Amino acid sequence: MVEHRVYIAGVIGPNPIPSTMSKQLKYILVLSIVGAALIAGIYILFPQKIQPGKLDAFAQCLGQKGAMFYGAFWCPHCQNQEAMFGKSAKLIPYTECSTPDGNNQLAVCKDKKIEGYPTWEFADGSRKTGEVPLETLSEKTGCPLPK
């Protein structure tokens, strides 16, 4: 049997890693490097997925100013309203009014007397129904739209 010797910190001695273990470590190291390269490549090729939405600050401001969007998952006008926000739609202050089966209204919306979708309610108690332009939301809340 051939004994492997490794020079480590000025000491010569037997290789503490058997050759089969060494091959496994090399394999793991190569896989780790390839995995890291793949992850880096995804972030480089698809940067829009990790960048904030253009209207993130605006959507967050609406909630901070007391605005609330009441809607229903099945409502096409609600979907259009959300589409106005693009990637920032996930940050809109939103209350779902529909039951999961789409046949009834949840108590939170009944209590608020929400009669149509979409409905925006503002801190002063006023409301706007239908698809509300972003400019109108900005005027009602004082939240600035990005330029």
Is pLDDT at 60 greater than 60 in this prediction?
yes
pLDDT at residue 35, as a whole number: 84
Query: Do the beta carbons of residue 81 and residue 131 sit within 8 Å?
Result: yes
> Rounded to an integer, what distance in angstroms lies between the CA atom of residue 3 and that of residue 12?
12
Query: Do the beta carbons of residue 104 and residue 116 sit within 8 Å?
Result: no
* Residue with the larger pLDDT of the pair 20 and 111: 111
User: Quick check: pTM over 0.85?
Assistant: no
Give the gyration radius of the chain's Cα atoms: 28
- Measure Cα distances from 125 to 44, 83, 84, 128 in Å: 45, 25, 23, 10
Residue tagged 């939301």 (tokens):
137
Least confident of 2-11, 20-29, 35-44, 132-141: 2-11
> To 10 degrees, what angle do helices 56-64 and 134-141 make?
40
89-139 pLDDT, tens digit each: 999 999 999 999 999 999 999 999 999 999 999 999 999 999 999 999 999
Judged on CB neighbours under 10 Å (0-12, 13-18, 19+), 107 is: exposed
pLDDT at residue 3, as a whole number: 62
* Residue with the larger pLDDT of the pair 75 and 4: 75
On average, the pLDDT of the chain sits at: 87
* Residue with the larger pLDDT of the pair 52 and 3: 52
> Rounded to an integer, what distance in angstroms lies between the CA atom of residue 96 and that of residue 37?
41
